[in-house]
Structures are given as structure tokens and as C-alpha cells.
Amino acid sequence: MTDPIFHLVPADLERLGNQVIKWFGEIFPFSEWTFCPISEHVDGLPPAKFSDRQGQRAFQALSECKGFWDRIGQQVLIPIRDLSAIPNHPITQSLNHPITESPNHQITLGTLVLFKVDNSIGPEEAERWLPVLQAWVENKLKVLRLESSFSSSGKIPKYIYLTLETIFKKEEPSTSLLHLIQKPSANSNYCDHKSVIDLCSMLWRHSDPEWLGGNPGDFWILLPGVDKNRLSSGLKQLISKARTKKILISKAYGHHIFGPFDIHHVEEDIYGLERLAGELGTAIFCTDDLKALEDSLGIEGLGSRLDQAKKVVKGSSKYAVAYVKPAHHVFKDALGQDGVFILEEKANVFLIKKFGRKTQESELAQWGSEIQKLCTAAQGVPSTIGIAAGSQPAVGSSRTPVSALWAFMHADLLGNGSVAIHDSLTWNVRGDKILSWGDLPGACRNYRLGLKTEPLNANLLNSLGVCLAEQGRTKASINAFSRAAGTSPENFMALYNLGGVFFQKGDLRSAEKVLEKACALKPGDIRLAGRMAEVLIESNRAKEALDVLSPFVDRPDQPVPGAIFRILGKAYRVLNQWQEAKTSWQQAIKINHEDSEAMALLALGYLEETHDWKTAAKLGRQAEALGKKFRHIRTILCEFNKKLNSLDDQK
């Protein structure tokens, strides 16, 4: 790891000020004090009262980064410098904090103002002790920043509590905190926190990410101005973005923290969310994901409820757990001596039963049927039930309660009143949910665990292929889709996806061959027609692509997706039919106002065909704003910008 260059920021004066003053008061007498960040200065002075003459002298001293002793006002001004922050250093240049560079090239962060100081101190004496006081305060701030920023792995640095306390003192309603954990591979080292800040700036634009502390491979980042929705959205893109920056992130947790600030509640929430993520088997998780999950399950305080169930199961493979929603307390007595009933506030329950031996699938199904009969008799309507047993393959005795929740989510997808025993399809449900949280490797693990139970499950193989393709693992995704297609000659989705991967790889012949098989299964599928047309265009057969798409475009009874018009425009452009291409791309944008690829292609077309650089430049800017995170859009825009710059050079 590159040794981090620690530098103070203006906010440190507020975050660390109390501790500095506590020690400072033991060596220097004063009655009141305040730290004024540079942003609070007016006309170069902190908000304190001065006579005109003293104000001029104070301004002169502070502009030279020197302390000032105001005997008349009985106040001392000590400018705070960050001596480690060199003006031309890249870290200093990356700061968005308001800082001031004095004439002697020292960074001024703010001013410490001490009030009601003994005015018997003379000017000459002040000249001697003011620089000493200044150096002492600056050194103490840096030492505190260093000490409070480091923590052992997984532990919250003290500096985070100080930061959050300061934020909520200003009555901010909420803020977001990101915890990233990096595990370097054998061929790479830990990255520095500057690289992590750059990554966060890409994901959460218009924020000002700030590294708060941690240790090598453990990063705590403040994300000011990022609400819970943006936090969740950014996390979903984290793995892929980090891969482009060659940063290997193993875990990422997003914490949206609400006021009023309570250090114990914040600590409980942070540790609780991260521990629950491990229980669920996901390496990417945030506050919004947890809230949505609890709402869907009907559980408040999911982590503590799972702990209750785990205490009963005691890690034994002889127990089975059912999660039932809704459930009435009247059938509690009907469970028998072997049953344990854990009631939720919303009348949803964990039922735990000890079978005494390895549980068979038929026994779990029988138990589910018995529970359903009791629910229907008590409530008049059936309940949704998920069941898992510690003896089931890959479930594990320590994770039986959480596996019952996953089985419930499986049952919920089947419809109200359904019963699901944890099986291979449940692993698919688990993988899909974890994928939706942004943990692509975690989703793959779940799909593979399902395949251990049912190696030829086409749904699992297809889901695995999609997830591998998202990670850029082309060879592995082709293998998964090929296996899925091999399970049944009529597996349309496997063939469709396999054709897409071959196309992305540039293997046009294989893509066409596979898509032809898919066409034989669903000749009227419009998505398939679009994919086949793209393959034909890249194969220099644009006329055939038009023939494939025309039957769909000319049908008034079926709405046509904007993507079809975008592909149609590509075919016309290859055939040098500019007007038709323009009309098609305009239609694509009309249907989907955020079709950045159609905008980029239209911008390039305007530039090449009409030399209307104003319209082209406007479209280019819109395309860049919407789609610059996509590589193929950047490729089109790169060509566009080269031609636009060439046109500027000719003027």
C-alpha cells in the first residue's frame, strides 16, 4: 500500500477542536474559545470584534499565517496551517474544501480564537509564545487525526464518530457512509485511499467523498449529499466500476445515517447491517436494501430475529425452520412438544422443529402441509410458507433460519398461500436477489451452489451465464449458456443469451448460427430480431438486417421498442441512406429519451452528412451526459470528437 499522506481539512477544526482545547487549557489560561473554519471568515478575519486599528493588524498577521494578540479585545488569533499539504501536491489539488494559500505557501484551514486572555502579556512576550502555541495546536490536531483515523479491520474508527457528531450538530437530517474492504490478489497490493476516493467520485457525482479512516484494505468514506436511493444505486455499479480502475473490492457496505445522532445506535446499526450481510451471503449491502428486505418479509429488526432463531437451532442439523406469513398465535399449541414458536410483532412467525435425524424432503413437505392446514383453519386464508432444514445440501446447520427466509421469498414469488421447501430454485432466487444488490461474485456462488443440487438446471445455468457475462468472464459465460442450451434443444433464452455473448466477443459466425436456432423456436420474437440484425450489420449484410427488422416495424398492432429503431438506423447508415437513418434514430430517441447510443450516432451523422456542427455538438453533449459510463458509447463519442475537433481546426 502507498503510505497515505495525512492532511487536515477545515472541518477538522470542528471535529477535533474539543479534544485540542481540553489539553490546551491545561497550559494556557483563557475563558472562551472557538475554531473558525476559513469558510466562516469575512474579509480575511474570523467573526470576532476588533477596533479598526486592531482589525488591520489582525488581517496583516493572519495573511502571513502568524498569530495575533489583541490586548484591547483580550483575544488571541491563531491561524491553523496544514504543513503536510503542499499547494502543488495532487492530494491538495484534489480537495474541494475551501482552503486558503498564504503568501508563504502554507495552507490555512481556519483560525483558533481564544477570548478573555490575561492582557498583562506584552507585545514582545507575545511574539515569542504565539509561534509556540500555533505549532502546538497544529501538531496536536495532526496527532489526533492520525490516532483517531486508524482502526483494526472491521472496527469503526473514532474519527467517524467525531465527524458524524459534528454533522448532526448542524441539524443535517442525514448523511451516507461507505465501508469498503479490499482483499488484494497474489499479483496486486492494497490500493491507496486516493484511488478509492476517485472511484467514489465516479459513482456519486456532485458529492465530495472524504476518506475518514480505516487501515490498509479497509476504507471508511463519507458521502455528503448522497441520499439512501443514490447510495443504493451507486453500490450496484461498484464492482464493475472498481474492476475498470483495477481495484479489487471484496465487500462494500452503505450506511445511511439519520439524525438525531446517538453513538450507540449508530454503532449497533453499522455492525448489525454488516453482520446481517454476511448471514445473507452478500458482500454488497446497504440501508435501503435492508429496509426493502424487511418490508417484504414483514420483519422489523431482522438481525435480532435471526439471532433468536439461531439460539434455538444451536447449529444442529436435526432442526428444520419454517417462516410463516401471516400466522395466528392460536395454533401455537398444535405444534407439539418438538416445536418452538417465535412470534413477530406483525403476526409472522418462525416455527422450529427438531426431527431427530436427517430430514427427508417428503417430511418437510408434510410439515409444510400441516402448518398450512393450521393457518387456514385459524385465519380462513392460507399463509405463505418457506421451509429449510440444516441437513439439506449446501444449507448448513448454522444457516437454517436464514435459509427458511430465502425459501419464503421463493414461495412469495409463486404467489400468496404458496409453500416452498428450500431447493435448487431457491438458490436461483437467492442469486437473483444478491445480484440485484450489486454483488455479482456472490450471485455466482449461489447459482453454483444450486447447480451442486441440480447440475442440469437450465434456469440456474442461464442465470450463471448472465452473471458471468456481466463480469466480463466471456469464456465461462459461454460455457454456462452452452450447458443450459444442451439441457433442452428448446431452451430459447439460453440460445438468445449465447448469441449475445458470441456477438460481444466478435465471433459473428457462431452468433448467427446460435441465433438461427433461437429463431426457429420463436420466429416472431422482436428482441431476437434486433439481435440478429446487429450481427448481420457487423457482418456487412445491412440489407439482410433490414429484411429481418421490416416485418416488425410495419406492424401497427405491436409497439416497437426504441432499440429496434436504433438498430434500423445503423443498417440505413451503412447503406448510405442518411435520411432514413436520421428518421430511425429520431424515433428511437422519441420512444426512449435516454437512448444515448442513438444520440451519439445521430450526432456523428449530422457532422458527417450535413456539417451541422451546432446540432451535432448539442446531441454529443447529451449523449455524453447520459452514456459516458458505457464503453461502446465512449467509442462513438471518441470518433465524433475527433471529427468535431478536425472541423474546428479547419475554421
pLDDT at 443: 97
Task: Give mean pLDDT, residues 374-379.
Answer: 86
Q: What is the pLDDT of residue 103?
A: 47
| pLDDT for residue 100 | 54
Nearest of 456, 457, 460, 436 to residue 446 by alpha carbon: 460
Cβ of 15: how many Cβ atoms within 10 Å?
A: 26
Worst-scoring range by mean pLDDT, 76-85, 197-206, 386-395, 460-469? 76-85
Task: Looking at 175-314, list the stretches that DSSP marks H as alpha helix, in order from N- to C-terminal side.
Answer: 193-203, 228-244, 263-280, 287-297, 302-313
Q: What pLDDT, on a 0 to 100 scale, did the predictor assign at position 650?
A: 61
Phi, psi angle pair for 449, to nearest 5°:
-65, -40
Report the C-alpha gap between 442 and 432 in whole angstroms: 10
- Predicted pLDDT of residue 227: 93
Amino acid symbol at 542: A
Find which of 194-208, 257-271, 278-292 is predicted with most confidence, using mean pLDDT: 278-292
pLDDT average, residue stretch 350-354: 89
CB atoms within 10 A of CB 521: 15
Per-residue pLDDT averaged across 513-522, rounded? 94
- Which tops the pLDDT comparison, 187 or 647? 647
Cα-flanking dihedrals φ and ψ of residue 47, to 5°? -75, 75
User: Pick from 242, 234, 237: which is nearest to 185 by CA?
Assistant: 242
Mean pLDDT of 188-212: 86
- Cβ proximity of 392 and 407 under 8 Å: no
Report the alpha-carbon distance of residue 188 to residue 459 in Å, rounded: 35
Nearest-10 Cα torsion for 242, 246, 251, 253:
-30
Residue 343: pLDDT band (50, 70, 90) is: low
pLDDT in tens, 390-411: 888 888 888 999 999 999 999 9
pLDDT band at 188 (very low <50, low <70, confident <90, very high): low
Reported as a pLDDT band with limits 50, 70 and 90, residue 527 is very high
Contact, 176 vs 257, CB < 8 A? yes
Torsion of CA 364, 365, 366, 369, to 10 degrees: 120
375 pLDDT above the threshold of 90 = no
d(C-alpha 74, C-alpha 96), whole Å: 35
User: Picking from 7-21, 209-223, 574-588, which range would have the lowest pLDDT averaged per residue?
Assistant: 7-21
Contact between residue 535 and residue 544 where contact means Cβ atoms under 8 Å apart: no
Least confident of 354-368, 420-434, 560-574: 354-368
Cis previous bond, 90, omega within 30 = no
Distance in angstroms (rounded) separating the CA atoms of residues 312 and 297 = 20
Instruction: Looking at 298-399, list the stretches that DSSP marks H as alpha helix, in order from N- to C-terminal side.
Output: 302-313, 361-379
Residue-averaged pLDDT of the chain: 87
Looking at the predicted structure, is the pLDDT value of residue 256 above 90? Answer: yes
Q: Please say if the pLDDT value at position 173 is more than 50.
A: yes
Instruction: Give yes or no for residue 598 having a pLDDT over 90.
Output: yes
Tell which residue, 505, 451, 438, has the closest CA to residue 480: 451
Tens digits of per-residue pLDDT, 29-63? 777 888 888 888 888 899 888 888 899 999 999 98
Query: CA torsion sign, 28 to 33 to 38 to 42?
Result: negative
> Predicted confidence band at 216 (pLDDT cuts at 50, 70, 90)?
confident
With b for 16 or more beta-carbon neighbours within 10 A and e for fewer, the 392-419 pattern comes to: beebebebbbbbbbbbbbbbbeeeeebb
The residue ranking higher by pLDDT, 1 or 47, is 47
In 356-515, which ranges are E strands?
384-389, 419-421
- pLDDT value of position 3: 42
Average pLDDT estimate for 106-132: 78
Q: What are the backbone angles phi and psi of residue 250, rounded to the nearest 5°? A: -95, -30
Question: What is the C-alpha to C-alpha distance for residues 508 and 534, in angstroms, rounded to an integer?
Answer: 10
201, 245 Cβ separation under 8 angstroms: no
Question: Cα separation of 253 and 270, whole Å?
Answer: 9
Question: b/e map of 442-468 (b: 16 or more CB within 10 Å)?
Answer: bbbbbbebbbebbeebbbbbbbbbbbb
Q: What is the rounded average pLDDT of the residues 172-178?
A: 91
pLDDT beyond 80 at 648: no
Per-residue confidence (pLDDT) for residue 615, from 0 to 100: 92
Using DSSP's 3-state secondary structure scheme, residue 555 falls into coil
**Spatial CA neighbour of 67 closest among 155, 168, 135:** 135
Please tell me the predicted confidence (pLDDT) of residue 342.
65
Distance CA 375, CA 201 (A): 51
Domains and CATH numbers, the chain: 12-148 (3.30.450), 158-295 (3.30.70.270)
Residue type, 490: E
pLDDT of residue 340: 67
CA–CA distances in Å: residue 642 to residues 106, 604, 607, 648, 649: 42, 10, 11, 10, 11
Residues forming beta bridges with residue 421, ordered by sequence position:
387
326 cis-preceded (ω within 30 degrees of 0): yes
Contacts of 369 (CB under 8 A, 6+ apart): 419
Q: Is the pLDDT of residue 20 over 50?
A: yes
- Look-up: residue for cell 409463486? 414
Residue 261: per-residue pLDDT:
85
Rounded (5°) CA angle 237-497-424: 80
For residue 314, count other CB atoms closer than 10 A to its CB.
Answer: 11
pLDDT band (50, 70, 90) for residue 92: very low
* Count of other CB atoms within 10 angstroms of residue 582: 19
pLDDT band for 93, please (50, 70, 90 cuts).
very low
In terms of C-beta density within 10 A (0-12 exposed, 13-18 middle, 19 or more buried), how is residue 123 classed? Answer: exposed
Q: Answer yes or no: is pLDDT of 538 > 50.
A: yes
Indicate the pLDDT class of residue 87, thresholds 50, 70 and 90: very low
Q: Is the pLDDT of residue 147 over 50?
A: yes
Handedness of CA 9, 11, 16, 20 (dihedral sign): positive
Percent of the chain scored above 70 by pLDDT? 89
- Helix ranges (H only) for 314-399 are 361-379
Residue 397's identity, in one-letter code, is S
Q: What is the pLDDT of residue 105?
A: 46
